[in-house]
Amino acid sequence: MKIKRFYTRMLFIFIGVLLVTEVLILILFMATAGHLFRDYFKEQSRAKLVFLRQVVQDRIDSDPEPAVGGNESVIRLISQYAAIFKAVAWITDTDGCLVFGRPSPGLESNPEPFFKHTPVSEDGIDLYFLSGRRLEYGATVRLTQGENEFFLHLHFTKAYPEKPRRIFLIGLLVIGLVIAVSLIPLARTVTRRINRLNQTALAFARGDLSQRTPVKGNDEIAGLAQSFNFMAAKLEKMIRDSRELTANISHELRSPLARITVSVQLIRDRLDRVWEDLNQTENPDRNKILKYMDQVDEDIQVLDDLIDRILTLSRMELRSREPDMEPVRLDHLIPEIQDRFGPMLDQKQLEFETVIEGPATILGDKTMVVTAISNLIDNAVKYTGEKGRIRVALKKTSLEKTKLEQAVVLTVANTFRRLEPRELENLFEPFYRLKDTEGPYGSGLGLSIVQKQIEHCKGSIRTFNSSEGLAFEVRFPV
C-alpha cells in the first residue's frame, strides 16, 4: 500500500530510524555491558565456589574416616551453603552414582547436557551457564578423600532476579513507543504548515488573490511561505493591473461606440431627408445604403454586448461587488425564466422539458442566479438545432463527502454533438469557442461569466456528455 500523506510517511521514517537505533543500542549493550556483567558474575561465582571447595575439602581432610556421603559435618556444611545461596546440591562418585542429596530434574548424573555454554574449568571447578532467558548456572566441584574422587554438583536457580533481559527489552520497547508517540505532534507541526501553504495556493489558483500564508518561524518552510507570499503579492498586482486595464479600456470603448451610434443615426436621418427631397425613396442605391447601415448597427450591438460582458467578467474577477446573499426558490424561478424563451422555442420548434422534484431553496445573490441560469438556457436554445430537445432538471441530493449535508442540483441538457475531453475542459475559458459549431456569433465569455456568478454564490458547475447531448450541472449548497 502506497502511503500518500506526508506526515504519515515522516512518522514511519522516524519510527524506522528509532527501531534501527534501538537494535544497535541493544547489540552494543550485549557486546559490552552484557559481557562485562557475565565476566563479573563468573568471577564472583568462581570465588564463592573456590571458597566452598576449600572449606569442604578441609572438613573431609580433618575427618577422613567416614565416607563423604556419611560425614555429617560435611553434609551439614553443604546443606547450609545450598540454603544460603538457594541452590540444589548433590554428590556423585566417579561412576555417576548418587552419594548424597537429590539432583534437579534432568541433572541426575551431570549438569552438562542441561546447560548450553561450554564449561569454564579452573581450580577443579566447572561452571555451566544457561544463556537466554534467565540468569541460571550450574557448577561441579571436585572433591577427594584419599584415593577416591567425588563430584559436588550445584544448581543455582534463584540467586538473581529472573528474566532481566526481558525486562530490559520491554523497557527499551516502551521508551521507543514513547519517543514514537512524541514524534506525532512534531510530524503534524511540520505538515500542518505545508497543508496550510497548499490550501493557500489552491485558493489563490481559484481566483482569491488576497490569500496569504501565515508565516511563523525562521526555518525552511517559513522561508518557502515568505517566498510564496512575495510571489502572490506580485502576481496579484500584475493580475489586478491587467484586469483594471481591461476594464478601463472596455469602459473607454463605450464612448466612441456611443458616438458612432449617434453618427449612424444622424446619417440615416440625413439620408432619409435627402431621398425624400429627391422623391427617390424607392431608389435601389438607397436600399443598399440602408442595408449597410443596418449591418453597422448590428456590429455596434455586437461590440457593445462584448464590452458589457468583458466589464462584467472584470468586475467579478476583481470582486468589486460582494454578492447579496438571500434565500432563492429555484423551483419558482425556473418556470419564470422558461417563459422568457417561449418565442425562441416556438421559432426553432424545440421541445423543452422541465423536471422539478419538490421545493428547492438556496442562499445566493438572486440577480446572479437568475443571470447564470438564463445564460445557460439561452446558450442551450441558441446551439440546439431545429426540432431539438432541451431538458432542465432540479433536485436535491446528498453531497459526496457527507450524507448530512445536501445540495440543490440543477442540470441543463440539450441536443448537441459529443465533445472531446479537451473541449469539455476549455468550455469555461474566456473567449473559447467550439470549432465547426453552428450557431450565432458569440464572444466566448458567456460560460466564463456563468462560472464566476455561480462560484460567487458558493456553488460549482461542471459539464459532461450525457445521453441527451451536452449537459451542464450546477450544485448549490443548501
Strand 460-466 relative to strand 389-398: parallel, antiparallel, unpaired? unpaired
Mean pLDDT of 336-351: 87
Query: Across the strands, what pairs with 300?
Result: none
For residue 128 the three cell numbers come to 555451566
Mean pLDDT of 200-218: 77
pLDDT of the residue at 389: 92
pLDDT of the residue at 267: 78
pLDDT of the residue at 118: 47
Q: Is 194 exposed, middle or buried (0-12, 13-18, 19+ CB in 10 A)?
A: middle
74 vs 263 pLDDT, higher one: 74
What average pLDDT is seen over the chain? 76
Asked whether residue 258 carries a pLDDT value surpassing 80, the answer given is no
Q: Is the pTM of this model over 0.85?
A: no
pLDDT of the residue at 245: 65
CA 339 to chain CA mean position, Å: 48
Q: Which of 33-47, 79-93, 404-418 has the lowest mean pLDDT?
A: 33-47
Kindly report, residue by residue over 399-410, the tens digit of the pLDDT: 555 444 578 999
Closest CA to 470 of 400, 420, 399: 420
Cα–Cα distance, 231 to 142 (Å, whole number): 88
Look at residue 341 and give its three-state secondary structure: coil
Q: Tell me the backbone φ, ψ of residue 209, rounded to 5 degrees.
A: -75, -10
Kindly report, residue by residue over 181-199, the tens digit of the pLDDT: 777 777 677 777 778 888 8
Cα–Cα distance, 375 to 383 (Å, whole number): 12
Look at residue 353 and give its three-state secondary structure: strand
269: enclosing H helix or E strand: helix 220-277
Query: Across the strands, what pairs with 125?
Result: 122, 141
Asked whether residue 40 carries a pLDDT value surpassing 80, the answer given is no
Kindly report, residue by residue over 271-315, the tens digit of the pLDDT: 777 776 666 556 667 777 777 777 777 777 777 777 776 666 666
Buried b (16+ CB within 10 A) or exposed e, 197-231: beebeeebeeeebebbbebeeeeebeeebeebbee
What angle is formed at CA 87 by the lines to CA 85 and CA 90, rounded to 5 degrees? 130
Closest CA to 64 of 154, 147, 151: 147
Cα–Cα distance, 32 to 197 (Å, whole number): 49
Buried b (16+ CB within 10 A) or exposed e, 284-320: eebeeeeeeeeebeeeeeebeebbebbbbbbebbeee
Residue pair 57/143 in contact by the 8 Å Cβ criterion: yes
Asked whether residue 244 carries a pLDDT value surpassing 60, the answer given is yes
Kindly report, residue by residue over 93-141, the tens digit of the pLDDT: 887 788 888 877 766 555 454 444 445 566 678 877 664 445 567 888 8
